[in-house]
Amino acid sequence: MSFDWSEFEHVTKVDPAKRHPESIDVLRHTDAVIVGGSDGVTEENSLAVFERLRAEFPDLPLVQEPYRSAHVSKRTVEVADAVFVPAVYNGDKTNFVEKHVGFFTELARKSEDVTGSGLPFVGSVLASKGRELVDGVVGEGYVVQNPDSKVAGLTNVEEHYTPEQVAGAALATESFYGFPIFYIEYSGRYVGPEDVSAAAPFLDETALLYGGGIRSRAQTDEILDAGADAVVVGDCFHEDTERFLETVPTT
């Protein structure tokens, strides 16, 4: 599946390690779901979420966003529409090039049993020089802007980017790395649209996502008006589905 971001404005991030609402019916109002978290994620709890989501919403685009390759398996790849691999610009080296080269070394090395229980298409990937795999695994240029968040600890973020650096990272994403997504992550803290406004002018083909602390439609609108393609809402979904509904844009 390729993602047409012009169709998406509201994405929900579902953390497999967190408590889920009894009814997930509110997800009929979101455009896509990213399954991932920063703590306690496993292949098994990821799969459980995918299977529940797929059962209730057969047509909803589902993405896996792993933070370790062990979260990815033949079964998760089969059930998810895509795998987004974060590339954290302001994290340490182990969360950027080292992780990526390691991940692709693993894929290149093994024709079966890759990253856990085996990616079924790796044999043909080897034969066709990586083409099949490419369609499913894409990079997300990531800026982690809340130093107190779990994800900042996980990726060893030491540097909060200025809006100018966010703009530079956006331009590098589109012009240099060619990742299809640029993601500004404030993890639970809403601080306004400044970074989104800084990044948006430099992104043409790249989708701009913002996540962090969105709890109202006014905040969603403010971020979309500043030039984001979509907001990503996470905590609300786990904590309060009524409030979650209020983050969905009216369009």
Known binding-site residues equal 13, 15, 38, 183-188, 213, 234-235
DSSP state of 160: P
- Exactly one of 170, 208, 214, 223 binds a copy of itself (CB under 8 A); which one? 170
Q: Does 102 bind a copy of itself (CB under 8 A)?
A: yes
Among 4, 59, 148, 204, binds a copy of itself (CB under 8 A): 204
Site for a copy of itself contains 63 (CB under 8 A): no
Q: Is 17 in the site for a copy of itself (CB under 8 A)?
A: no
- The CA distance from 180 to 83, in Å, is 12
Among 165, 221, 241, 245, binds a copy of itself (CB under 8 A): 165
Contact 43, 78 (CB under 8 A): no
Q: Does 104 bind a copy of itself (CB under 8 A)?
A: yes
Kind of pairing, strands 82-88 and 62-64?
parallel
d(CA 52, CA 40): 19
CB closer to a copy of itself out of 126 and 245: 126
- Angstrom distance (rounded) from CA 149 to CA 216: 21
Cα angle, residue 207 at apex, residues 47 and 232 outer, rounded to 5°: 50
The binding site for a copy of itself (CB under 8 A) comprises 85, 87, 89, 92-93, 96-97, 100-109, 126, 128-131, 133-134, 137-139, 164-165, 167-172, 174-178, 201-204
